[in-house]
A = this chain, B = another copy of it.
């Protein structure tokens, strides 16, 4: 009588994963403007299949990005050493290196900035990395290396800004800018900030 709610078919589940993988790959390689046909092709799947699993291109990209951000956050927290300042600067450097190889990564992260129109769905991608940044900031405050008037929001914003140039200039160039920014974040260079 009460048939089980619908045990999803095995091929359906497999194709869903294929789509997510293909979308994640393309979005990180080429940025957020991908052709749906190409996603379907890479996933070895038809258009109909794509649109059965996800109501819209946006929805697919959101779902794929959630995976990407989750694994990014996992890798980043695995790299923590406990030394606050070096963890923070390592995190930023690694994030930008990642962004260099995947120009679309922070591009998507940027679209999740608070106050952006729509994109409420993509906001929660940001929730994968946000807490990690908050933690890094808290630790660096506690150790006294990070100037106390800096918020996690500031660090996020700085990361997004640098992420926009990292893929389009040679690595030494953006490393210099990161270096300068980190110097500005040090407690020793504090100068009164305009309030939040």
Contacts and interface: CB of A to CB of B under 8 A. Distances in A.
A173 interface: yes
Q: Can you tell how many copies of this chain the complex includes?
A: 2
A160 B170 contact: no
A141 interface: no
A184 interface: yes
Given A175-B194, A179-B193, A193-B176, A157 B185 contact: no
28 contacts: A110-B164, A115-B168, A115-B169, A116-B168, A154-B173, A154-B176, A154-B177, A157-B169, A157-B177, A158-B180, A161-B161, A172-B194, A172-B195, A176-B194, A179-B193, A180-B181, A180-B185, A180-B193, A181-B181, A181-B184, A182-B184, A183-B189, A183-B190, A183-B191, A184-B184, A184-B189, A186-B189, A188-B189
Contacts of A181: 180-181, 184
A196 interface: yes
